[in-house]
Amino acid sequence: MTKPSIISKDEVRMRFARAMSDMYRAEVPQYGRLVEMVTKINSDVLRTDGKSLFSATAQRLDLERHGAIRVGTAAELGKMRRLFAVMGMEPVGYYDLSVAGIPVHSTAFRPTDESSLQRCPFRVFTSLLRLDLIGDPALHQRASEILARRNIFTDRCLELIRQFEGTGGLTEDETREFIDQALETFRWHSQSTVDIETYRSLRAAHPLVADVVCFKGPHINHLTPRVLDIDAAQLSMVASGLRAKSTIEGPPRRLVPILLRQTSFLALEEAVEFPGLAPTAGTHTARFGEIEQRGCALTPTGRQLYDQLLTLARQDATAGDSEAYYDALRRRFQDFPDDLETLRRRQLIYVRYSVNNDAPPLPRAAAVTEIERLVDDGFVQCAPMTYEDFLPVSAAGIFRSNIGGSDTEVNVAHNDRASLEAALGCSIVDEFEVYQRAQADSATLVLQQLTARTGTIV
């Protein structure tokens, strides 16, 4: 008997991302409108500017999504890490959102291998509620008791995860079942698991606490397509009647985009059933539509400059005045180089090297340390790496715009990476190491290719 073949992690992830998108489109019709709008803008950009800096990513644009969820306990996060491992997704980056008044810290589950990213760049920004940041001890205890009683995964989903861990993969039939079972964790449930008084008490402590604690599971609160012109998307949302947030999060508009820019339409007010009350007696706001534009991945040097300029811009602007903040942002970021050559020479961005096939043969072999000279001499080309991760201040700004609060609010940070890693049951991958390794690998490959042409061993 032929042994059933194992489905690759990349394929499982791709199928899950599509299933998630279909589910969310059915639950939130505005998401479908958002995807159609983004598809049109991307088509227009690629048609008018086929040599756009990130046009090489066109083949993955239709697939690219990031989702966001919030879990309530360390045990839930640990199981979530195991679920995403079935899809080849690892926890990358630590994000402390308490700096912006959000009582969570987060990581992003995503693939780290370049070929996997090209096949399906699906990411899920995953936040763990920090009950230690709730000032009321009684409310803290009540929330802990509620969360301890729930199970956000189906029994069959956990069985399939254990089977994956034991055998190293799932068959075709098991993959289909795994996706169906996993979707139940992310589905919206309109029934609250607590009475309305408890809901109101938790919401008064913080709206996000109520969102995490009072429902059956971590319903996905947004699913984000990638757009090549977020300013056009912002205008399009407003023109189409979607209630767009007032500011675009992240760096200002630039000739060479960097990092990540995000905007969203505001969260829906949805009917919620509370025990003992009529179905229409209560409402909750949680789910919204988000769009992102991704730019160059910055090196630690580049990120340090970005953070310095962002801090200065936030200090310049009056809290809550989005127009003044935008003006301050544009003014401060004049000090951040906006041409690819300077960004590369100053090592502010990560790049991917490739052989320039139009260049004459290299007269001799070169050492790895000479890669920049080879670029200068025209033997090697380089293209900026796409930023695959997130920005804590931007994420908090999106969260706040959908649960209430100022877009420029700043609070004291409560960094606790160690406890998040303990909950995950593994170390968090350093995103800078991922980009650095990819850059170094591309340089090594280029030099091997050039060596093969010259017939000389490096």
Listed in order, strand segments (DSSP E) in 238-363 are 260-265, 269-272, 282-285, 289-294, 351-355
Res 51: pLDDT: 57
pTM for this prediction: 0.90
What per-residue confidence (pLDDT) applies to 278? 61
Cβ-contact 387, 54 below 8 angstroms: no
* Token representation of residue 340: 């690819």
pLDDT tens-place string over residues 302-352 = 999 999 999 898 888 765 677 888 889 999 999 999 999 999 999 999 999
Task: Judge whether 59 and 82 are in contact, CB under 8 Å.
Answer: no
pLDDT of residue 67: 92
pLDDT in tens, 212-263: 999 999 999 888 999 999 999 999 888 888 778 777 889 999 999 999 999 8
User: How confident is the model at residue 405, as a pLDDT?
Assistant: 45
Cα 418 to chain centroid distance, Å, stands at 21
pLDDT of residue 420: 96
pLDDT under 70: residue ranges of the chain = 1-2, 49-59, 267, 277-281, 318-320, 362-369, 393-413, 453-458
Q: For residue 126, which phi and psi values (nearest 5 degrees)?
A: -120, 120
Is the sign of the CA dihedral 300, 302, 307, 308 positive or negative?
Answer: positive
- Residues whose CB is less than 8 angstroms from the CB of residue 331 and which lie 6 or more positions away in sequence, other chains included: 313, 316
Q: What is the pLDDT of residue 369?
A: 63
Separation CA 306–CA 254 (nearest Å): 13
Helices (H) and strands (E) in the chain, counts: 18, 13
Check residue 400 and give its pLDDT. 53
Cα dist. 288→27, 31, 124, 226 in Å?
Answer: 11, 8, 15, 15
CA 432/CA 321 separation, integer angstroms: 33
**Location of structure tokens 């960097």:** 258
What tokens does 334 get?
Answer: 């004049």
pLDDT of residue 53: 62
Give the pLDDT of residue 238.
85
Total length of the chain: 458
